[in-house]
Amino acid sequence: MPDHVSARAKAVRPFVVMDVVARAKELEAQGRDVVRMDVGDPDLPTPDVITRAAEAAMESGDTGYTQSMGLPDLRDAVSARFASKYGVTVSRDDIVVTQGTSPAMLLLFGSLLDPGDEVILSDPCYPAYPNYVAFLGGVPVRVRARASDGFRMRIEEIEAAITPRTRCIMINSPSNPMGTVLPPEDLRAIAALAEKHGLYVASDEIYHGLDFTGTDHTILEYTDRAFVLNGFSKLYAMTGWRLGYLVAPRDFVRPAEAIQQNFFLCANHFVQVAGTAALLKADPDVARMRAIYDERRRYLVPALRGIGLTVEVEPTAAFYVFADAKEWGSDSLALTYRLIDEAGVAAAPGVDFGPEGEGFLRFSYVTGIERLREGVSRLQSWSAARL
């Protein structure tokens, strides 16, 4: 039989950390105990105020379709959050509610890119970004984000990467995998660069609210030539609920809505009701969860340094530590599987996030602090046994 798998599908690079998760689950099924520090899936339960809102919505029969743009109440709540938190005016008519931020990326790049159009990305970056761009016929263009620069792209290198086919500069702050935050001066400079060259900025703000040392800034404070991706998975411990949204310039809203109508119809009705409750009522729960994550961060960063890993850039947001593990091995994927099999600790290989991530490991601290202590102890014993 001839091979009928599409070239488009063949070109999609696997999300390697999910293969790591599969290996961890395989070992757990065999009775092995694995300390899970691989994916960013919060261990804390979704706040009761959110789950109760979903239950009430289901009991009321809110289980059918909604408008493809999303419930007006939810879009109003998102709009109000931009106003209260950032002092930015966002019309509910510029917001499209989606089943998580991943579909929002499809709407964004699907409405923005023609084949051959380019998107500038940092390296390292979240693995889905280049895959979405390439899947839709675009060209991902990587700009180094060096640890020595605090994992910030240099503005002059961004400008040097701009060509007549460039349509967009993609940023992610707070960032995955680094857990770092772009300072306001970087956001301002990137916005100015985009306006200078007639480009757009796409800002993934899914980790907003999980900044432990300062105040989040949205790209919309600096330019209206911007798309914003955000959602409820990380901040509200709602990964499995699949709820996000896209804020888009007005000219792109109707095209994004049309894509939504055809590919996804709408986000789940009762989940949108729960999302509205999250924005309106869950701030005390968010503060509590953020404090727990921060306690874990303050333990894990020095603990990893203490067993020989290099954390050159202190993470100040999200729930990741991006550690240089070249002392243990330069092949991060091979090293990851060794750590699972030999130490019973699952992490994410740095190469999953781009060529500049090779030699790094990403440790996620979305597990209890006692489990983190156990994981560090195992890594320390494993490292000592190598000597």
This prediction has a pTM of 0.95
CA atoms within 13 A on the CB side of 382: 18
Distance CA 232, CA 70 (A): 14
pLDDT digit string (tens) for 194-224? 999 999 999 999 999 999 988 899 999 999 9
**20: its two tokens:** 């790591």
User: Would you kindly state where each structural domain of the chain is located, as residue ranges?
Assistant: 7-46+284-382, 48-281
Distance CA 213, CA 294 (A): 10
CATH 3.40.50.720 fits 48-281, yes or no: no
* Residue 258 and residue 69 in contact, taking contact as beta carbons nearer than 8 Å: no
* Residue 348 and residue 20 in contact, taking contact as beta carbons nearer than 8 Å: yes
Average pLDDT score, the chain: 96
* Residue 203 and residue 229 in contact, taking contact as beta carbons nearer than 8 Å: yes
H/E element holding 271?
helix 269-281
Would you give the distance in Å from CA 187 to the centre of its chain?
18
CATH of domain 7-46+284-382: 3.90.1150.10
For residue 273, which of 241, 237, 247 has the smallest C-alpha distance? 241
- The whole-number pLDDT of residue 386 equals 78
pLDDT digit string (tens) for 305-341? 999 999 999 999 999 999 999 999 999 999 999 999 9
| Contacts (Cβ under 8 Å, ≥6 apart) of 256 | 96, 107, 108, 110, 111, 246, 248
